[in-house]
Amino acid sequence: MKRLIPLILLALTACSRNPSVVLDPGGPHARVTAGLFWLFIAVNGVIWGMVLGVLGWSLFLNRVRETMAPIEPGALSERRLRLWVGIAIGATVLVLSFFVGASFVTDKQLIDFDRDPQLAIEVTGHQWWWEARYAGPLPSDSFVTANEIHVPVHTKVKLVLRSNDVIHSVWLPNLAGKRDVIPGHAADLVIEADRPGVWQGRCAEFCGLEHAYMNLVVVAEPRAQFDAWLVHQREPAVTPSAAEVVRGQQVFASGPCAMCHTIRTPDATGYSTNAPDLTHLMSRQTIGAGAAPNTTGYLAGWIIDPHGIKPGVHMPTIQQNSADYQALLAYLGTLK
Ligand code: CUA
């Protein structure tokens, strides 16, 4: 039993509640890729079954003819052998050609899907978070968010990919394949969700210490809901009125936070590209690109000791007196 434990543990590593699997397609790109996968599995499964069948049959024959003399290949069996080898080679060539053809057709379908995207989002990889920029019809309609993108369902969305530092790779298994994000090299990835849902994506190219916490969430929602999200994200942060929240805003604006982060207010617009934009921080699910859930408790821990949650993160530990710290937390909590 003891010897079996490592084996059981190894088998259990495949059990995960993480829904980011290629075989749960949420859109046409992933669906055709999954279709190709199942085709390979079906054809190879049939071949595997046939090989095992022939093996079992020959073992059975050997068992009943226990007194069988060693086989002397005569003229007849030599001819039969040649025939069977010929059939096997022919079948192999046929199956391989079929697979190449099926891959080609799938590739063509994927290229066709990518034509005429209806929406573009600029996604920039940073160590270790994703910046997402939505452009609008007017410059004032543009806004930046981080680590979580919203898309409308049944819409081809082109992710225009950039890197700010090293090579990253976007992987959204339920929606599309992987695309490397190389500094100085333009790349894009078209995704389309055909049902509402929340899909996990991740960086798939080792990019440094916190590569494992460089997640990208895609929230696909009906058009009306997406439009409402867009309108809300374009708005500046609420102007605080409560005394503690006003103080928190001052702590943010006059302290080290504002050196990297931006919170758009009616009189201070602009984007931050050094660190995630916090204008609507509380509308996001996680902090630190998936390092922790976005709750007041984790947020408090994150500000006091970001390295305790995400070792190596570029955010420094910030010393603050407790009143300022509470005020800052209160202010961040209003950024819905
Ligand atoms: Cu970015 Cu791995």
Segment 261-278, tens digit of pLDDT? 988 888 776 666 789 999
Give 312 Cα–ligand 1 centroid separation in angstroms. 13
Q: Is the pLDDT of residue 102 over 80?
A: yes
179 lines ligand 1 (CB under 6 A): no
Q: Is the pLDDT of residue 140 over 90?
A: no
Nearest CA to ligand 1 atom 1: 168
Residue 15 has pLDDT above 60, yes or no: no
Tokens of 219: 């929230």
What is the average per-residue pLDDT within 206-232? Answer: 94
Alpha-carbon gap, residue 198 to 192, rounded angstroms: 13
Q: Kindly tell me if the per-residue pLDDT of 193 is higher than 60.
A: yes
pTM: 0.83
- Res. 220 pLDDT band, cuts 50 70 90: very high
The residue-averaged pLDDT of 282-287 equals: 91
**The predicted structure's pLDDT at residue 74:** 66
Q: How far is the CA of 199 from the centre of ligand 1 (A)?
A: 18
Q: Is 183's C-beta closer than 6 angstroms to any atom of ligand 1?
A: no
Is the CB of residue 235 less than 8 Å from the CB of residue 333?
no
Whose tokens are 């970001």? That residue is 306
Measured in Å, residue 177 CA sits from the centre of ligand 1 at: 16
How many A from CA of 217 to the centre of ligand 1?
14
Which strands, in side-by-side order, build the sheet including 119-126? 143-146, 129-134, 119-126, 157-163, 187-191
Of 163-177, 180-194, 238-252, where does mean pLDDT reach its minimum? 238-252
Ligand 1 proximity of 210 Cβ (cutoff 6 Å): no
State which ligand 1 atom lies nearest to the alpha carbon of 127: 1
Ligand 1 atom nearest 207 alpha carbon: 2
Q: What is the pLDDT of residues 151-180, one digit of tens each?
A: 999 999 999 999 989 999 999 999 988 999
User: Closest Cα to residue 272, out of 291, 257, 251?
Assistant: 257
Q: Does ligand 1 have an atom closer than 6 angstroms to the CB of 125?
A: yes
* 214 ligand 1 Cβ < 6 A: yes
Residue pair 146/132 in contact by the 8 Å Cβ criterion:
yes
- Residue 292 Cα to ligand 1 midpoint, Å, equals 17
pLDDT surpassing 70 at residue 75:
no
